[in-house]
Every structure is written in structure tokens, then in C-alpha cells.
A and B are shown apart, each in its own frame.
Chain A
Amino acid sequence: MVEEEGFRRYVAHIILWIGIAVVAFPVYIAFVASTQDNALIANGQMSLLPGGHFFETYYQTIFVGTSGSTREPVGNMMLNSLVMALLIAVGKIAISIISAYAIVYFRFPFRMPIFWIIFITLMLPVEVRIYPTYKIVADLHMLDSYAGLALPLIASATATLLFRQFFMTVPDELLEASRIDGAGPLRFFWDTLLPLSRTNMAALFVILFILGWNQYLWPLLITTRDDMQTIQIGIRKMITTTDALTEWPIVMATAVLAMLPPVFVVVVMQKLFVRGLVETEK
């Protein structure tokens, strides 16, 4: 990094602080709103300082839910979101590391065509294939289930490509040394390739967990039961009320809660994440 002198350095810092404020202020407002009385918010008299309803609002949000719209405790929604995000992240990593292993290390008929077919699926995200995917999931009776939430999102060309690139940088001699040491394909994968991919897997996990957590369209389509809805859907449903006042403190508390797990994952795995992106241990 270039060291700047005096004035220019202050300018740079001021710009950075403005950036932080722009990003953080709405989050702060959401938090403040979640601690205020609903009537105050509805009247437009909300203070910019936290109110005194923190514990009761969050207790109600997590264990009871709104009194009007969904009546589903947010704790359960978070569990659904968590299960879905974990299934997607772990499933994607598991599937893609295995397919990348096959593509890089095995010579089988139509290896390259298969690789290109996987590559082409990059152009077919859920939004594009939503009708056929919905039909398949419905026919398999997987609506309103974790499998239905996660499975259609698990196949991942991006992760396969990433692992493929990584495997291609692993020296061939390592495979050869393993062969001479009497390790078969499974042993080599398990004893050598997986430990070497650890940082890559961690980096991918962070990205994929957030991706899974933030899914909106797909869960919206296939969950109909309240007890299967994810937190993202829950927020949406809480806001739409027909004849009652929207319970803004609870909506805001839900929004704050929805932010926490991704933040937690990033904070915990940040070190591994950065290492996975910049460093290779070979």
C-alpha cells in the first residue's frame, strides 16, 4: 500500500468514514426501530436512540412471532434458513469437489464434453429454469421440505471450476508419490487432496453459506406451510398486513436477526477465507 502524507490521508479517511456511515446507518436504524414502541414508529416519532423494549421485542420475535401476519416464531424461521444454507453450502462443496476430482484426475470417455456441460450450467441459474425445477420438485413430493429447499440449488458449476483450477495446480508428483506409497484413488483424495483443499473449502463455504442464507425466490415458491418458511420469506410476510398495523419493531428485529448468522460466519472464517483466496499450501 502507498503511504500518503498529511492532508491527502485525512481526505481518504473521511471518504472511508462516509462510506461506513452510508452502509451502517440503515442497519443502526433497523436496530433502533426494533427497540422502540410500535405506536411511536407508526406515528413517525421514532427516536434515533435505542428505546427500552429491547428484551421484550426480541423475546417475542424469536419465540412467539408477530401477533397478526405469520404467527410463526422467528427462531424457527432461522432454523429453517440455517438448515437450508448449511445443506446448500456443504452439499455444493461435497458435490463439486468430487466432480472436480473426477474431471481432473480420471480419464474417462466424454470427459471434456462433461466438463463443458457442467460449465454451461453456469448460464442456467434457478431463475431461468424455475418452472421445470418446480415441476420436478413437486413431482418428487419435496415441496415444503428441506430437501426441496436445498437440492435444486446444490449443483454448482462455479465451485466445480474453482476446485478444478486448484487441483490443476497440485503437482502431479504428489499423486505419483501417493501411488508409489500404495494409496489408491480414494486414499489420495481423502489423505492428500482434501487436507490441501481445506482453505479453499473454507472460502467457498463462506460464500455459499451467505448465498444459501439469502435465497428468496426459490423458498418463496416451494414453501407454503408457515413452519417451513425461511427468515427472508418471513420478513416479507410480516410486512404485508391487511387490516392491522405492521409490527415494525418485530420486523426490524427479524431483519437484524437475519443479518447475524452471515456476519458470524464471515467473522469466524475470515482468516481462513483470506488464506483460501491468496495462499496455497503446496
Chain B
Amino acid sequence: MANVTLRNVRKTYPGGFEAIKGVNVDVGDGQFCVLVGPSGCGKSTLLRMVAGLETVTGGEIDIGGKVVNQVEPADRDIAMVFQNYALYPHMSVFNNMAYGLRNRGMKEAEIKSRVDEAARVLELTPMLERKPRQLSGGQRQRVAMGRAIVRQPKVFLFDEPLSNLDAKLRIAMRVEIRKLQRRLNTTSIYVTHDQLEAMTLADILVVMNGGQVEQVGNPLAIYEKPATTFVASFIGAPPMNLMATRPEEIRSQLAGSSAADAGILGIRPEDFVITDQAPDGGVALPLTVEAIERVGAETFVYGSREQEQQRIAANPGELPPGEIIVRIPGTEAPAIGAKIRVAAVRSKLHLFSADGRTRLEA
């Protein structure tokens, strides 16, 4: 059991590319920390630095009160689950799990009891003698987890462990991982680009972008109060609608707020309702319905506003300028081409400075 503390951690590659630009994160004992961000944001690099697979060029990585910058991966008391599982193809499931223990000189009897216990927990007992290629993707994933568990490490590291699985299995394994981590109560760091995985797994969510931490905190707190437009559009699906407050149409509705001239207004798709009445102090927008997606429990309405020229800072998952997504109950479905009015109440508005880097209170 251990804390993991990153103090101003930096990584600069020999070519001069700065992959990690000073990250500070503190993961408490037994907590589940998720690093999330778009590809290339440095989240995997950061995890590999904690594992000891990448060198640290600045700052300190502290596991259980000991700075491990110069410690070999095997001696850091961590276990890692890789995206492609990295099972030894020529070894049986049993040997895959036992290999790390044997290298540490553990007694065969102890190895056997640990592997058997892990196999029982992960329901791998009937497969212990098989080779990885005889297993399905989900089973391989569980073997990789087993290999981590038997070590009884201070920290689990997960590098996008579910991204090679199909959607259904991914959800099942996600729940499994969470349950397992709760039971073992082992500090964990988990990397993913899937915001849904991030939201459901994390005790602490770290949203990264361009080698920097955008926001750290409880997942729901981040969802409710994103600190930047990047976080706002990255966390939550479909993404938050972002629009400039400059057009008169919006500015007039925000009158009286300190944020009226601020720059960017964000409203989540689920916070809109279709209504003809302008809510008191809220924002109402006329839309033309361009497309609808009915997914059963809910309907997504893609509408366009007439006047929206200013493009908001480029972010992943961002809508084309002037397009608004509205999420309504699955029983409703406006006709394509219909003119509707949508509105959101004051408390559901998110306001950001013009550069998107600062959150303003409404």
C-alpha cells in the first residue's frame, strides 16, 4: 500500500520535444487515479515514467515515500497491465503469472498458491495450462491482470487495458477492474482516452492535454465544473456545446452577469430543454433541426443556429461552429427542418474566458 506523488515531473526527449511539461499529482493510498486525455497528450508517457520504462528528465516520482527516479522497474514494486496484454506467447497461463515471482526467487509452493488464488478470483482456473493464443481477448486480459495481482505490488499501472476489447466486454471488464481494485485496495493509476471509462473508474481524475494537467479532481466535480473549455468538451458525451458570447443574441441574455462579455458560453446537451418560454436568467436559442439520432433511451438533436461566425478554440470532439447538440428523452423526436427553441437555466451555464483557459462564475 502506498501513495504515489508526482512532483513537477518533466520529460524532454533527446530531440528537444517536451512530452511532459511539469505534472503535479498526488494519488492517495488505495485510490484509483485515471489519467485521461486525447492521444498524444502524454498520459501513457507519464504512466511509463511511473513504471520506470521511461526516464524522468525533471522532477520527482515518489512511490510509498521513496523517490524512485533511478530505481529499476522490477524494484519499484509496481505491476503493469499493457494495452496488448504483453503475455509471453510461449508460456502457459500459469507460467505467465508465475514468471515474475520465479525471477524473484520465490518458493514454488508459495508461487502455486498465489497463482491459484489469482486464477480463482479471475475465473482462469480451467485455463492455467493453456497458451495465450488459445484464449479469447477477454481471457488474455484477465491473465494480464492475474500477472499483476500475484505480485501483490504497491501500485497497479494500467495502460489502456480495455481498448482491444469489444464494447460489451469492455463494460464488463471495467466493472471487474473496479471491483477487484476495491477489494485489493491497491493504489492504481489507469490510462485511458475513453472519458466514460475515466468517469466510471476514477477516484481522482486527471485530465491531460499537451503534456500538461488541465484539471485534477473528483470525476463528478470535474463534470460539473470543468476548469477549461478543453475539459468541458472532453469530459461528457456528447460534448458540451461551446459558443462565443459576443453575438448580441447571447450577450443580451447574459446581461447582469460578470461573464456577459467574457468570451465563451458552454451548455451541456442534457441541460437543454425544448421550450418556447425563455427561462428567467437562462439562455434560449432558436435552432433549425438538421439531424436527429434516436438511440432508444434518448434522442440527440443536431441543430444549427443562424448567426455564429466565431469559431471556438479547436478542441477534440468539438462541433462545427454554429451547431448545437441537444439531448432529450427518447420518446421525443422533432421533425428534421423544424424550427425549435431550446433553453437552459442559469445554473446550468458554464462561462469561460475568451482563450478558454479560465472558468468564470456566472
Point out residues on A near B: beta carbons under 8 Å. Answer: 171, 173-174, 176-177, 179-183, 187, 191-192, 195-196, 198, 281-282
**Is A180 within 8 A of B78, CB to CB?**
yes
**Is A176 within 8 A of B89, CB to CB?**
no
> Known: A180-B79, A195-B90. Contact between A281 and B103, CB under 8 A?
no
**Is A176 within 8 A of B103, CB to CB?**
no
**Is B86 within 8 A of A176, CB to CB?**
yes
- Nearest Cβ distance between residue B143 and chain A, in whole angstroms? 12
Interface residues of B in 47-100 (CB under 8 A from A): 48, 51-53, 72-74, 78-80, 82-90, 99-100
C-alpha spacing A191/B51, complex, angstroms: 22
**Is B53 within 8 A of A182, CB to CB?**
no
CB-CB under 8 A from A177, the residues of chain B are 80, 82, 86-88, 147
- Nearest Cβ distance between residue B153 and chain A, in whole angstroms? 9
- Nearest Cβ distance between residue A64 and chain B, in whole angstroms? 48
What does DSSP make chain A's interface, helix, strand, loop or mixed? helix
One of B74, B83, B87, B90 near A180 (C-beta < 8 A): B74
CB-CB under 8 A from A179, the residues of chain B are 52-53, 72-74
Judge if B133 is at the interface, Cβ distance under 8 Å.
yes
**Is A181 within 8 A of B84, CB to CB?**
no
Q: List 11 A-B contacts (CB under 8 A).
A: A173-B84, A176-B48, A176-B80, A176-B86, A177-B86, A177-B88, A180-B80, A180-B100, A181-B99, A195-B90, A196-B90
CB-CB under 8 A from A198, the residues of chain B are 90
C-alpha spacing A173/B88, complex, angstroms: 10
**Is B53 within 8 A of A282, CB to CB?**
no
One of B48, B74, B80, B85 near A182 (C-beta < 8 A): B74
**Is B133 within 8 A of A281, CB to CB?**
yes
**Is B74 within 8 A of A192, CB to CB?**
no
Residue of B with least CB distance to A192: B88
Q: Which of A174, A179, A180, A282 has the most B CB atoms < 10 Å from its CB?
A: A180
> Scoring B residues 22 to 62 as 1 if CB is less than 8 Å from chain A, else 0, what string do you get?
00000000000000000000000000100111000000000
Judge if B168 is at the interface, Cβ distance under 8 Å.
no
Number of chain B residues close to chain A: CB under 8 A: 25
Q: Which 6 A-B pairs have the closest CB atoms?
A: A181-B100, A173-B86, A182-B74, A182-B103, A177-B86, A195-B90
CB-CB under 8 A from A176, the residues of chain B are 48, 51, 53, 73, 80, 82, 86
**Is A181 within 8 A of B103, CB to CB?**
yes
- Nearest Cβ distance between residue B130 and chain A, in whole angstroms? 14
Residue of A with least CB distance to B74: A182
Judge if B104 is at the interface, Cβ distance under 8 Å.
yes
Residue of A with least CB distance to B104: A182
CB-CB under 8 A from A182, the residues of chain B are 74, 100, 103-104
C-alpha spacing A173/B140, complex, angstroms: 15
**Is A281 within 8 A of B100, CB to CB?**
no
**Is B99 within 8 A of A191, CB to CB?**
yes
Q: Known contacts A173-B85, A176-B73; can you find 17 more A-B pairs with CB under 8 A?
A: A171-B84, A173-B84, A176-B80, A176-B82, A176-B86, A177-B82, A177-B88, A177-B147, A180-B53, A180-B78, A180-B100, A181-B74, A181-B100, A181-B103, A192-B88, A196-B89, A196-B90
CB-CB under 8 A from A191, the residues of chain B are 88, 99
Residue of A with least CB distance to B83: A173
**Is B82 within 8 A of A281, CB to CB?**
no
C-alpha spacing A282/B89, complex, angstroms: 6
> Known: A173-B82, A281-B133. Contact between A180 and B73, CB under 8 A?
yes
CB-CB under 8 A from B133, the residues of chain A are 281
CB-CB under 8 A from B84, the residues of chain A are 171, 173
Q: Which of B52, B83, B100 has the most A CB atoms < 10 Å from its CB?
A: B100
- Nearest Cβ distance between residue B16 and chain A, in whole angstroms? 18
C-alpha spacing A110/B86, complex, angstroms: 30
